Amino acid sequence: MEKYAYTMQPVVVTDGQRNWTARETFNYEYFKGIYLPGSEALKTVNKRCQFFQYNTNMSSMEEFFNISKSRLEGNEDHWYIGWSNCGGKSGNMLRGHYKLPYFLPGELDHSARDWIFMGLPGPGAPMHVDFVHASSWQAQLSG
């Protein structure tokens, strides 16, 4: 905190994900298994959370989890999507695979809303400013 917190200098942390299982677990098939058709997790995202289609032609989580293997692998249209996970059982399942990185203070611990972004290599979300009402943190698992 004393050395970096308010210096406005970028810091690269190379071991911030130690002891996380998200890196080995999170993938399309894993999330597809959580957000099954008719599941409470999918209903919650549709009712209380947000889905961002960005520059894809997908309009819902259902559509995303039904894309062809060819598109999933990048042989068709590019895709990049994001969604918020608003707590509940699915939130607890996801949080079982990651935690607040050791170097961040406890007051930055995650809220009931987590965000997941997935996509193919290349451009994803357009330039934007996140408007959040509390402190937040982000981790990139690969890419």
Task: Determine the pLDDT at residue 142.
Answer: 67
Closest-CA residue to 115 (of 50, 44, 34, 41):
50
Q: Which domain holds residue 69?
A: 21-119
d(CA 82, CA 46): 13
SS3 content of the chain, % helix, strand, coil (to 5): 25, 10, 65
What does pTM read for this prediction?
0.82
Q: What is the number of domains present in the chain?
A: 1
- Which residues of the chain are modeled with pLDDT < 70? 1, 87, 110-112, 127-143
Q: Is residue 115 in some structural domain?
A: yes
Q: Is residue 142 in some structural domain?
A: no
Q: Is residue 95 in some structural domain?
A: yes
